[in-house]
Chain A
């Protein structure tokens, strides 16, 4: 595997379910990001991790819980989601040296029913 991978690629879940999204990067980067991409909206930065430490939480509801066990893996744990949480969830990674170029995974298309 190369680049940034995400699993699953598609996920349908009920509002009472608990599921997790997984991201893995094979680029040797030390920063990882979760973005939410909804139709007709800009990319919304959700969480940022630097060397496994969370450095940013952009007022994301607590039903989204990130986990970064090491610099290569990032998870997004989901529980009691709402239909408006349906979106494409993108993971990205970057080095911590200029120009901090971000490399994105293919995303997980999440549908909340």
Chain B
């Protein structure tokens, strides 16, 4: 079964620190890699996404780094804030012939004030 492996399962970071969440995928046909952010009591919301033809994408404090040869991608949250405390999911999608996403298992991030 297609999988997207995500680590760590949980992460505690001091305010102002860098949070790093990693994902690895198996199917090379994936062509789109979004990250979702979910706050308690809410549904996941699209945060940032990347295509494999670029190695990095930055939006504000959030950066995706992409390593196509290793089939890995990661989310970096710079200057982490308590308001960033949430669960983060990576996903892989865009494969030819399917519009489904394969989601990672999620990382619960807590940023200490």
Task: Give CA–CA (A45, B32) in the complex, Å.
Answer: 18
Q: Is the CB of A100 within 8 A of B32?
A: yes
Stretch at the interface among B14-22, B38-46, B59-67, B70-78: B38-46
Q: Is the CB of A99 within 8 A of B94?
A: yes
Total chain B interface residues with beta-carbon distance under 8 A = 22
Known A42-B103, A56-B100, A94-B99: A100·B94 in contact at CB below 8 Å: yes
Q: Which of A42, A99, A103 contacts B104 (CB 8 A)?
A: A42
Task: Give CA–CA (A98, B103) in the complex, Å.
Answer: 17
List A residues 16-54 near B (Cβ within 8 Å): 31, 41-43, 45, 48, 50
* Inter-chain pairs besides A4-B43, A43-B103, A101-B34, 7 sampled, C-beta below 8 Å: A42-B103, A42-B106, A43-B89, A90-B44, A100-B94, A103-B46, A106-B41
Interface residues of B (CB under 8 A from A): 31-32, 34, 36, 41-46, 49, 51, 89, 93-94, 99-101, 103-106
